[in-house]
Structure 1
């Protein structure tokens, strides 16, 4: 369709809409920093009928082109022109100054297909299809402003069950130099991986967005269970009060098992709890293998997930627990606490990969 001649009320309305958004973008100084951004900046993954011929052109270039010329572009019809107007309007609704440090907290948009405030769907679940380049820019800027680029994805993810193991230790700064479009083109980055990466940035942004920071203060992000366990461990390390088994159980072992449940699921949690004797006598690997109908090597493999999780969630826990074990070793009245403490340390921070032990046991079994 060409707009050299207006033939319907819809054509007339579309021309007026384009002229109105053009006037706003060119005349209002608060939009001047958006004119050199490509139109694709305001496109969402779930948008339909995008004017592909225009996405690489800047806002300023498009506004400098006569409407008749835009509408005469090959492959551009009324619906594509309508999408162009929609994207231009998004540029006026976004309240992100494109010097990121000057970005303000945005107002919610009235556009049902473009949330400027939250990428959560109607059920409260994170939806990567609702993430625009503008939102991604804000999230990256929040991470940069709080110097969190060196933090790894696994440290800050809501759960490790959704995060591929190979990127648990990938620092946030790996993604900070990429646009959303560039991330989607990275090798091995399918929609599932992109979703969890974006959600980590989103959760960090939501936590820190309003924290402007002070030159004499720093904000550290840690998994929720870490500060509580760290405080308990340091208190017991410097204090003289005897440590009881129930104290170790309630203040250390159970919280760590709860994190395993979050990050590895029920099966690994139950195996770890069984090994530590949470609900009864400690279970042997042989017994657990028989109960699940798997090899002992498989049980060791599942239990090793506990070590992998703590190595990314709470790596500082290893030296703290080792120090605690040395302190109460062979102290009168603390033998039961020592047994549980060392068992907890060995399960979550084994000094020797347990798959080696599993392999030795399998070899021994096969020779008998």
Structure 2
């Protein structure tokens, strides 16, 4: 289809829509910062009938091209021109901070609304298909502004169950230099991995977006359990009040186990809880292996997940718990607390010697 001649009411409406969005983008100063950005910045992965011939061209270049010339581009018909107008409208709905403009939201039909605030589906789940380049740019800027590039993905992820172990310790800055399209082309970065990476950035942005930086203050992002556990540990280190087993159980052991449930699931949680004797007497690895019908080596392997999780979630915990164990080691009346405290520390922060001992036990049991 060519627009050298208007042949229908739809043609007339489309030309008027293009002229209107062109006028707004060129005349209103708040949109000047995006004229040098390619049209692709406002395209979503689930968009259909995208005008591929235009995606690499900047907004300014497209607006400087006569409408008749755009419509005469090979492979560009009415539907592709309609998609072009939709993408241009999306650009007008983002101010300098990439927030939706209220005025634009009122002027654009509801079915064309493009949310730059929350890429969540109707059920509240993160949907990577709703993420555009401009959203990604905004999330990266939030991470950069708060100097979080050195933070690790595993430290800030909502859960580690969907995050591949090989990128738990990958710093956010690894992805900050890439566009969304480039990340999707990275080796080993399939749909699942891209989704969890994007969600980490999104959650960080949502937490910090409204935080205004102050020269005398800084913001530290940590798993929710960490400040609570550190506060309790430091308080017990300076207090002379005896520590009870129930205090260790409720303020340390159970919160750590809850994090294991979040990050590793029910099976590892049950094994860890059984080893620590949460609901009954502590279970031996031999007993757990027999109950699950697996080898003891497999049980050790599953329990090792607890150490891997804490190494990324709360690596500072090892030193705190070591110090606390030393403080109450020989105090009368605190034997039960010490026993649970050391068992908890050893499960979540096993030393190299303890790991070697476990391996030696397996070799001996195998008769090697």
The Cα shift of 1:112 comes to 4.7
- 2:308 aligned residue: 308
Query: Unpaired segments of 5 or more residues in structure 1?
Result: 98-102
Q: For the residues of structure 2 that align with 1:222 and 1:19, how far apart are their CA atoms? A: 49
1:70 aligns with 2:73: no
- 1:163 aligned residue: 163
1:329 aligns with 2:329: yes
TM-score (norm 2): 0.95
- 1:100 aligned residue: none
1:125-151 deviations in Å (ceiling 9; x for gaps): 110111111111111111111111111
Q: For the residues of structure 1 that align with 2:30 and 2:113, how far apart are their CA atoms? A: 24
- 2:223 aligned residue: 223
Q: For the residues of structure 1 that align with 2:35 and 2:255, how far apart are their CA atoms? A: 52
Kept in 1, the 8 Å contact 2:86–2:112? The answer is no
The Cα shift of 1:94 comes to 1.4
Kept in 2, the 8 Å contact 1:296–1:358? The answer is no
- 2:127 aligned residue: 127
1:21-58 deviations in Å (ceiling 9; x for gaps): 11111111211111111000100000000000000001
The alignment yields a C-alpha RMSD, in angstroms, of: 1.5
Alignment of 1:199-278 (within 5 A): 199-278=199-278
TM-score (norm 1): 0.95
Q: Aligned pair in 2 of structure 1 residues 212, 106: CA closer, same or farther (>3 Å)? A: farther
Q: For the residues of structure 2 that align with 1:85 and 1:271, how far apart are their CA atoms? A: 57
Q: For the residues of structure 2 that align with 1:193 and 1:31, how far apart are their CA atoms? A: 34
- 1:361 aligned residue: 361
Q: For the residues of structure 2 that align with 1:31 and 1:245, how far apart are their CA atoms? A: 62
Kept in 2, the 8 Å contact 1:300–1:354? The answer is no
Q: Aligned pair in 2 of structure 1 residues 161, 197: CA closer, same or farther (>3 Å)? A: same
Q: For the residues of structure 2 that align with 1:94 and 1:288, how far apart are their CA atoms? A: 56
Q: For the residues of structure 2 that align with 1:353 and 1:169, how far apart are their CA atoms? A: 24
Q: For the residues of structure 1 that align with 2:181 and 2:57, how far apart are their CA atoms? A: 15
Q: For the residues of structure 2 that align with 1:222 and 1:106, how far apart are their CA atoms? A: 29
Structure 1 segments (4+ residues) deviating >6 Å:
none
Kept in 2, the 8 Å contact 1:243–1:334? The answer is yes
1:265-322 deviations in Å (ceiling 9; x for gaps): 0000000000001111110000000000000000000000000000000001000000
The Cα shift of 1:113 comes to 6.1
Q: For the residues of structure 1 that align with 2:112 and 2:350, how far apart are their CA atoms? A: 51
